[in-house]
Amino acid sequence: MKPPLTPLSLILILACLSTSSAAEPAVTKPAVTKPAPDLVLRNGRIVDGTGSPWFSGDVAIRNNRIVAIGRIPEQGKSEKDLRGLVIAPGFIDIHSHSDTLLLEDGAAQSKLRQGVTTEVLGEGDSIGPSSGKLGPKKFTVRDQTLQWSTLGEYFDTLEQETVAVNVASYVGLSTVWRCVMGDSFERPTDDQRQQMRELVRQAMADGAMGLSSMLAMPPGSLATTDDIVDLCTEVAKAGGIYSSHIRNEGTGVFEAVKEAIEIGERAHLPVDMIHLKIADQKYWGRMSEIVALIDAARTRGVNVQAHVYPYTRGNNDLSSILPPWVHEGGPAMLRERLKQPALRAQMKRDIQQGLPGWYNHYTAVGGDWSRMLISKETTFKGLTMDRVLAERTRNKGARNQETAPDLLEEFLNYLDEEGGSVSTVYAHHTEEDMTTALVQPWCSVGSDGLAFACDGPLRRGNPHPRSFGTFPRILGVYVRETKLLTLEEAIRKMTSQNALKLGLRDRGLVAVGYYADLVVFNESEIIDHATYTEPFQYPDGIRHVLVNGQIALENGQPTTVRSGRAIRGRN
């Protein structure tokens, strides 16, 4: 046992310590001063995108990233008091068609004003590659001709032109097919299949998020399940996803869903089904059966999901009423066939009776022309086809009791005069089926729209209202009004769920280290206004939008900032 220290011992020890300190003075390290945040958003209701309950707090941003969340004592170089407003991740539109519109006007107004910070392009057709039988893609804007051959070159072009939102893209099956096969309906040879695989590999290296398909019409409909599995195997090697507008959304919808699941299962990659719906009145009310198919696949380990838009009408071409064989050889051959009486007679028979495996838009809406709305910039834009046909037959002195074949003949005349292509909105699915899909935990939200504007050259045609209202409609109608979804779950479906599908590791959440893609909105005011007949109306309630930490929309108005970038690959 050690003896206790005496008072003298303590004095001697303290003296030694004092001497040591005097001989070796302590070195004082300079304090590390963090730079002030570029922007602090104060006092918001933060809905972070995970689905967790909202909480009050601040968000600090520096160098395009979120650097702090919570109660932040530091003063920012700039600050905004957002008391009473919601701060959420910017919406990721997983299904968009804004490819060339973004080159015309990078402001992306109809999307930005919805709170969209990232557009995901490509549904069957993609902006790249454009080689082989397609040749280089050329696009003229502001008296300048832009040209590219690969998806990577498109991304470079987009960033050079500058854009207000981030842009990602799939590589489209139809585009790859046409690069190799042109407009032929022939089966590809082994060498041609190898060329397609190489194009997919290149696109994935260029930054594609995966392979997308539109299987309801040629050329996508020409690809067999085995063809798609073959290409998806290349996608899987690069960590990509398969996104599919399934082969048949009508009476063949169950088999088409099973095919999408089979492709994911065989190729070992995630699947996202584009705007899941039942688009034939004969099968309305059976969405629960599709849900059961997807749930069963997920139970056995297939990562299959889907997304929807919150409307009961879809947008396609009036030429989709024509049977597949009419499309062989491309638009020029289609128009040639429209001029041949014998082929017209065959077209009318096929339209009325259908063909095995073909999704027939005409029979899907019960042969009801009033459920087809013209959205092309033409004399009849904004009118339903029953009114178009009535006007045309009246001008020709036809009697009122026109028969269905006579109207089909006039339909073919109209389509021919319009060059074989008329953008059309079809009323073909129900609110009940749409909401049954929407509430599923594996179902997210995408617009299937384009970045139009209410003024200037991008105000054209009679587009589907989803281009202006998809995301505010979810929050205004299905959260606030009907309470179908909680605010937190709706935000998750429009942000982190889409980010996870795409493999985006640092977008889709309000989280430290993530890019500052943010939307600020008034929960009690947010609502869409665009309609099928008056689509050019921006929503209410979106106050601010930040893209990569820069304010792209302030107090409801776009700024001149173009801080969007191409998002290449799954990062």
Length of the chain as a residue count: 571
Amino acid letter for position 310: P
Q: For residue 406, name the pLDDT band (cuts at 50, 70, 90).
A: confident
Q: What is the pLDDT of residue 12?
A: 38
**What does the pLDDT average to over 135-163?**
95
Q: What is the pLDDT of residue 14?
A: 37
Q: What is the pLDDT of residue 23?
A: 42
DSSP 8-state symbol, 516: -
Q: What mean pLDDT is reported for the chain?
A: 92
In this predicted structure, the answer to whether residue 396 has a pLDDT above a threshold of 80 is no
Can you tell me whether residue 530 is helix, strand or coil? Answer: coil
By C-alpha distance, which of 276, 274, 202, 194 is closest to 240?
Answer: 202
In this predicted structure, the answer to whether residue 467 has a pLDDT above a threshold of 60 is yes
Give just the sign of the alpha carbon dihedral 455, 458, 464, 469: negative
What kind and span of H or E run contains 386? Answer: helix 385-395
Q: What is the pLDDT of residue 471?
A: 98
Domain residue ranges of the chain, discontinuous segments joined by +: 34-122+446-564, 317-426
In this predicted structure, the answer to whether residue 7 has a pLDDT above a threshold of 90 is no
By C-alpha distance, which of 325, 344, 327, 351 is closest to 404?
Answer: 351
Q: For residue 26, name the pLDDT band (cuts at 50, 70, 90).
A: low
Percent of the chain with pLDDT over 70: 92
Q: What is the pLDDT of residue 403?
A: 53
In this predicted structure, the answer to whether residue 69 has a pLDDT above a threshold of 90 is yes
In this predicted structure, the answer to whether residue 460 has a pLDDT above a threshold of 70 is yes
pTM of the model: 0.90
Model pLDDT for residues 277-291, shown as the tens digit of each residue: 999 999 999 999 999
CA neighbours closer than 13 Å in the CB half-sphere of residue 27: 1
Q: What is the pLDDT of residue 2?
A: 44
Amino acid letter for position 40: V
Strand pairing class (116-121; 166-169): parallel
Distance CA 316, CA 461 (A): 14
Distance CA 79, CA 324 (A): 58
Distance CA 445, CA 495 (A): 9
Conformation bin of residue 142: beta by default, left when phi > 0, alpha when psi is -120 to 50: left
The CATH number for 34-122+446-564, chosen from 3.90.1150.10, 3.90.1010.10, 2.30.40.10, 3.40.50.1860, is 2.30.40.10
Q: What is the DSSP string of 62-117?
A: ETTEEEEEES--SPPSEEEE-TT-EEEEPEEEEEE--TTHHHH-TT-HHHHTTTEE
Q: What is the pLDDT of residue 5?
A: 46
Model pLDDT for residues 359-388, shown as the tens digit of each residue: 988 988 999 999 999 998 888 989 999 999
Percent of the chain with pLDDT over 90: 86
In this predicted structure, the answer to whether residue 1 has a pLDDT above a threshold of 50 is no
Model pLDDT for residues 94-132, shown as the tens digit of each residue: 999 999 999 999 999 999 999 999 999 999 999 999 999
Model pLDDT for residues 48-63, shown as the tens digit of each residue: 999 999 999 999 999 9
- 397 or 393, which is more confident? 393
Distance CA 230, CA 533 (A): 43
User: Contact, 429 vs 494, CB < 8 A?
Assistant: no
Model pLDDT for residues 300-320, shown as the tens digit of each residue: 999 999 999 999 999 989 999
**What does the pLDDT average to over 534-540?**
97
